[in-house]
Amino acid sequence: MIDTLAEAPLNGPTLAAKLKGIGLAILRPIVVVILALLAGMVIILFTHQDPLVAYENLLIEPFKSSASILAMLFYAIPLVLTGLAAAVAFRANIFNIGGEGQLQIGALLGAAAALYFAKLPAVVLIPLVVVVGAIGGALWASIAGWIRAYWGATELVSTIMLNYVAIDIAAYMISSGAPLASSNGAGTSTNTIPSAAWFATIGPAGSQFHWGVIVPIAAALLVFALLYFTPLGYEIRMVGANAPFAQYGGVAVPRVIIGAMAISGALAGIGGSVQVMGLYHAYNQSFTDPQWGFTGVTVALLARLEPLGVIVAALLYALLEEGGQLIENNTNVSHNIVGVIQGLLILFVTVQVSVRWWRGRARRAGHVANA
């Protein structure tokens, strides 16, 4: 007899059913992208440009150059991690919109750890920076998790507000005269971290793609294993599906909420520390420009919250970014058209999620009526 829901993972869906679900999660982002591209084609026609030429640059040209392929892979690295961060929280029905702030804290603390332990060898220093970034992001996310779990305050507001707090804290810590400010006194960055903490680049000279790519791949596999093969992952999914029922079945819902937020924040924090080691080699003001945390939410929804689907969704998003640059360079179509396509992606994903939510609500209402 099962005493708690945490003891029931082995009685859940079969492996074949899980693999089918994963396959659909990988296929659906592609379908959504195709729909967005078709809508974008209509918009390009209204600008009196040739959509076929534009889409050749958007979807085909990036694969003709090794430099473009490496650029896409490089761009996808932080998106996989922030996408995983959003996916874990959303699976627990927690709307963590604070990935940006959690990434900032992870990046800042990761850079600080690299500078403080600069004399350590690379084999120790690199994992240390990753772990410190994870801890920073986890602690920052846990604030919103604790408020939601014990006070019932919506995490939509708390995580968004904590983004600004994190960015302001980071800006202060690197400002002139602050504890992590660079020795040149510019007040815009930390000192450069030691080369032992750098991820080596992959590819020809000038490539930014680096060995940090191992981190998001490993993270995706670990999150997949966590969600589908551990009691905690089962509890996260049960709380996300029906928190009152999960609590009735013996799940400590507040603990799961805080735990899911901590894991989510840790993944975003790792994204920040990886960018420190692989791209900037310091924490600086540029971290607020790409907004990887916010984009990660789109990536997670595009992947329907499936960890392995997040990799595909991140690569699709990276393809749009790289192809957008080629469109601007090789045609008369503005790069802004890619922003329109990305907006359409978000729109279609939102519609898809909303339809799924309404169907689930109707199903639950039908079960109640038939009870």
> Right CATH number for 31-352 from 1.10.10, 1.10.3470, 3.40.50, 3.20.20?
1.10.3470
Phi-psi region of 93 (alpha: psi -120 to 50; beta: other; left: phi over 0): left
User: Whole-angstrom Cα distance, residue 212 to residue 275?
Assistant: 8
Residues 6+ apart with CB under 8 A from 197: 114, 118, 122, 125, 126, 129, 277
Phi first, then psi, for residue 281 (nearest 5°) are: 60, 25
Coil, strand or helix at 158: helix
- Give the per-residue pLDDT at 104: 96
pTM (two decimals) = 0.87
Per run of 10 residues, the mean pLDDT along the chain (length 371 residues) is: 39 64 66 81 85 88 92 95 96 93 96 96 97 97 94 90 95 92 86 95 89 97 96 93 86 94 97 95 85 90 88 90 86 79 76 66 57 53
Which sign, positive or negative, has the C-alpha torsion 336, 342, 347, 348? positive
Extract the tokens encoding 75: 């761009």
User: Whole-angstrom Cα distance, residue 98 to residue 161?
Assistant: 8
